[in-house]
């Protein structure tokens, strides 16, 4: 594991691998408050036949109603798309840490324009995991990002 990978990104990577092992897209996310994971999830679009269950959405659902999200940080193995970035902004999450954005640029500029602090760790482990999935499953990937 890259030394830049902290325990929260490690937990998101484990979620991504779980999703992949279930036959889904390897993207994972965790929501952190006060140094503790309060929600985690992974992309379950394929497993649940539901186009909305991206990793970040699954994570937020699993965190449940927590009142204010302003003191939370969302970790995701991949830069969030506009759907997930919209949820970040809607709930007032102020910080997002991502594993990589090489395979998908996502909505980084939107997040920043809305006052969200975005940190891209640019981890080879996350980039390699996504690149391998995209290479082996181009149609599923293009469906996931709305480019079919």
Whole-model pTM above 0.75? yes
Q: Quick: pLDDT tens for 68-118.
A: 999 999 999 999 999 999 999 999 999 999 999 999 999 999 999 999 999
50 CB-side CA count, 13 A: 11
Q: Does a structural domain hold residue 1?
A: no
Count the domains in the chain.
1
Q: What angle do CA 82, 119, 102 make, to 5 degrees?
A: 65
Q: Does a structural domain hold residue 107?
A: yes
Q: Does a structural domain hold residue 132?
A: yes
Q: What is the mean pLDDT of residues 61-65?
A: 97
Q: Does a structural domain hold residue 63?
A: yes
Active-site residues, by number, are 56
Q: Which residue has the higher pLDDT, 125 or 138?
A: 125
Gap between the Cα atoms of 116 and 108, Å rounded? 9
Domain containing 52: what range? 7-145
Q: Does a structural domain hold residue 74?
A: yes
Q: Does a structural domain hold residue 92?
A: yes
SS3 of residue 40 by DSSP: strand
Q: Does a structural domain hold residue 80?
A: yes
Q: Quick: pLDDT tens for 106-124.
A: 999 999 999 999 999 999 9
In this structure, what CATH number is given to the domain that contains residue 52? 3.40.140.10
Query: What's the pLDDT at 133?
Result: 95
The residues, any chain, with a CB within 8 Å of residue 31's CB and separated by 6 or more, are 37, 38, 39, 40, 59, 60, 63, 69, 72, 73, 74, 75, 93
Q: Does a structural domain hold residue 2?
A: no
Q: Round the average pLDDT of the chain to a whole number and report it.
A: 94
**Confidence band of 5 (pLDDT split at 50, 70, 90):** low
Gap between the Cα atoms of 148 and 73, Å rounded? 31
Query: What's the pLDDT at 140?
Result: 86
């Amino acid at each position: 594991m890259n030394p830049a990978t902290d325990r929260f990104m490690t937990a998101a990577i484990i979620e991504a691998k779980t999703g992949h092992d279930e036959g889904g897209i390897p993207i994972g996310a965790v929501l952190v408050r006060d140094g503790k994971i309060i929600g985690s999830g992974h992309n379950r679009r394929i497993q649940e036949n539901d186009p909305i269950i991206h990793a970040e959405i699954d994570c937020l659902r699993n965190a449940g109603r927590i009142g204010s999200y302003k003191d939370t940080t969302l970790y995701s193995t991949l830069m969030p798309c506009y759907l997930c970035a919209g949820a970040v902004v809607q709930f007032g999450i102020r910080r997002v840490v991502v594993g990589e954005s090489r395979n998908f640029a996502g909505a980084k500029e939107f997040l920043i324009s809305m006052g969200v602090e975005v940190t891209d760790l640019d981890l080879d482990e996350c980039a390699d995991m996504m690149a391998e999935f995209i290479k082996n499953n181009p149609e599923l990937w293009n469906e996931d990002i709305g480019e079919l």
